[in-house]
Structure formats: C-alpha cells, structure tokens
Amino acid sequence: MSAEGTGAGWPGTIHVGEPHGGGIATRLNWLRAGVLGANDGIVSTAGLVVGVAGATIATGPVLTAGVAGVAAGAVSMALGEYVSVSSQRDSERALLAKERTELERFPEQELDELTALYVAKGLTAGTARLVAEELTAKDAFAAHADIELRIDPDSLTNPWHAAGASAIAFTLGSLLPLIAILLPPPDARVPVTFAVVLLTLAMTGAVSARLGSARVGRAVVRLVAGGALAMTVTFAIGQLVGATVL
C-alpha cells in the first residue's frame, strides 16, 4: 500500500508502514532495552525463586531471594545499559567532531570523498558529483554524517533513558514470577510459576518479534526454551543443595 507524496517539487511514493522517520534508531533502542529488560527480569527472577523453592517450602526465603533479585537485577541492568549506551554515544560524538573538523579544514577533499561514496553506491561520476555538491550546499555536515558515518546527529541515544527503560522493564518483568511463586500453596508453586513464566515469555517474544518485523515463531521458541531450561536447571540445583543442607 502506498500514498502519493511530493517533496522539493518532485513526485514520490511513500510506502505506508515503513520506518522513514529520523528517530527510528532511538525508538528501536527503547524497544530493545525494554524487551531485553523485561525478559531478563522474568527469566532471572523465575530461575532464582524456583531454585529457592526447590530447596525449601518456606515462604520467607523465597520472598527474600525474590525481592533481593529484583533489586539487584534492576540496578545491574540499568548500570550495564548506561555504560554501554554512554560508550556508544561518546564514540559517535568523537566521530562527529572529527568529521566537522575535517569539513572546516579540507572542504574540497571532503567533497571528493562524498562524491566517491555515492559512486560506490552505484551512481555515475557526474550524478554523484551533482548530488554531493547539492547536499554540501544544503548541509555538508549532515550529508557526511549520514552517508559516511551512518549517524544522525540529532538522534543520539540518551544513556539515562536507556538505563531507566531497562530498570523499569526488568522490575515489571520480575513481578510476574515473584507473584506466581508466592500466591499458590507450596505444592503448586513451581508448576504454576513454570506455566506463568513460559506463557509470558511466549507473549513477549511474539510482541517483540512483531514490533521488530521479525519471525514470531523463532522468537517465541527461543525465549520459551531458554526460560524452561533456566528454571529446570535452577530447580534441580535448589533440590540438590536443599537435600545436602538438610
């Protein structure tokens, strides 16, 4: 499906549903941080509380371990995301600063470089030169940032936003297995938690795949299989440790 549009006096076709906005990288980063945070919260907290439940039927230790796991995991996710995105942002800023300096000092060489980049993309030399000249006249820095660095200077990822999204998503994801392990009677805790966690992972896998235009089946199988394996291993270790201690 498409809609006709015009830009700069030239008729064009806009394909509805395709991401053409300049902030798509930022939105995808938020989606990535949120999905990863939620899934990590679900799996890690579920593995922790199921492992403790395998060692004891007492509610106190399960609750304590679950709450501690939520707090530690949220802080860890936020810190890791902040450090990662900050490093990426610093690198992007350094590259942009270097490019701006080169444009000020060597404008002709930079114009030749821009022309060569468009030639490498398939344009003829004459067309590439014309495109490079017109883009340079409009905004040389933006043109080089786009074609040479693949960076949008106006849409650099905010590390605080990414850290906050990860922490909130982790905490919300962690609440599901924590509630599932505490509400049922002791004999039903582990089976109920397994069912709730695997169903939730299937749902988040399907949602994240659709939002990212990826294959739903593969994403669901990957998350469900990983979650089931994690809980099975921690439950077995919990039973082994509990039997040894007792």
Please name the residue that has the structure tokens 């690198």. 91
Average of per-residue pLDDT across 38-45: 90
Choose among 46, 60, 236, 82: nearest CA to 167: 82
Question: Which comes out higher in pLDDT, residue 30 or 4?
Answer: 30
Calpha distance 235→191 (Å, rounded): 11
Asked whether residue 8 carries a pLDDT value surpassing 50, the answer given is no
Amino acid of residue 160:
W
H helices of 106-124, where? Answer: 107-120
Q: CA angle, 68 as apex, 208 and 187 as ends, to 5°? A: 80
Angle between helices 59-105 and 125-144 (to 10 degrees): 120
At 28, is the pLDDT very low, low, confident or very high (cuts 50, 70, 90)?
low
Choose among 23, 81, 82, 28: nearest CA to 211: 28
At 22, is the pLDDT very low, low, confident or very high (cuts 50, 70, 90)?
very low
Asked whether residue 165 carries a pLDDT value surpassing 60, the answer given is yes
Q: What is the pLDDT of residue 81?
A: 86
Q: What is the pLDDT of residue 244?
A: 63
pLDDT digit string, tens, across residues 61-80: 999 999 999 999 999 988 98
Dihedral pair phi/psi, residue 57, rounded to 5°: -95, -5
- Number of residues in the chain: 246
pLDDT digit string, tens, across residues 186-240: 889 999 999 999 999 998 888 777 776 778 888 889 889 999 999 999 999 988 8
Amino acid of residue 145:
A
- As a three-state string, the secondary structure of 3-33 is EEEEECCEEEEEECCCCCCCCHHHHHHHHHH
Choose among 176, 172, 227, 195: nearest CA to 47: 227
Quick one: 17 exposed, middle or buried, by C-beta within 10 A (0-12, 13-18, 19+)? exposed
Amino acid of residue 70:
V
At 23, is the pLDDT very low, low, confident or very high (cuts 50, 70, 90)?
low
Calpha distance 60→64 (Å, rounded): 6
Asked whether residue 98 carries a pLDDT value surpassing 80, the answer given is yes
Q: What is the pLDDT of residue 13?
A: 41
Asked whether residue 29 carries a pLDDT value surpassing 70, the answer given is no
Asked whether residue 7 carries a pLDDT value surpassing 80, the answer given is no
Q: What is the pLDDT of residue 176?
A: 92
- pTM (2 d.p.): 0.71
Average of per-residue pLDDT across 154-169: 85
